[in-house]
Amino acid sequence: MTTPPEPPSPVAMERPTSLLFVCLGNICRSPAAEGVFLHLIGLQGLEDAFRVDSAGTGDWHVGRPADERMRTAAARRGIALPSRARQISRSDLSRFDHVLTMDRQNLKAVRSLAGGGEGTAEIGPLTRYCRRHNIEEVPDPYYGGEEGFDRVLDLLEDACGGLIETLKAERAS
């Protein structure tokens, strides 16, 4: 006799919450945030509850994979970074529930793109979800050494963990 499958959790049955992570070029911080978030929800079996993407405010790297140094640092933690760089568009502000930026410069650029209140996305800094780190920005590791990429991943794991807990609580209420 087989046991019937468990019904899907109430969180998975709702419309997926959509998130867009944004940095400058979409090759270091935002694809890492996307990968970390996907990794963490995968560990919790919440893949169906979220739709996740990343973008950059600039167009310099469109079509390229994440920076090799970031991919290497993430792979050491078992985190894949599958996305290709793309530039944020005005339509993203209506397609996503949350647009989460890595620093003040990108927050300002996204809010400017939103213009006179266009779009429905909640726009804000990802770091507001940090639980262990007291920071306002995720630093850009592009011009630094290897330790900068690991530092960014530490911050993103903290912020994405806090974000997941917040979103799960919102969905449960």
Residues noted as catalytic: 23, 29, 140
Residue with tokens 């979103």: 167
- Strand pairing of 17-23 and 98-101? parallel
Locate 146 and state its tokens: 């290897």
Here the tokens at position 154 are: 């530490």
Cβ pair 25, 62 in contact under 8 A = no
Nearest to 151 by CA among 34, 28, 19, 18: 28
CB 149 within 8 A of CB 66: no
Query: How many C-alpha atoms does 16 have within 13 Å on its Cβ side?
Result: 14
Looking up tokens 């266009």 gives 118
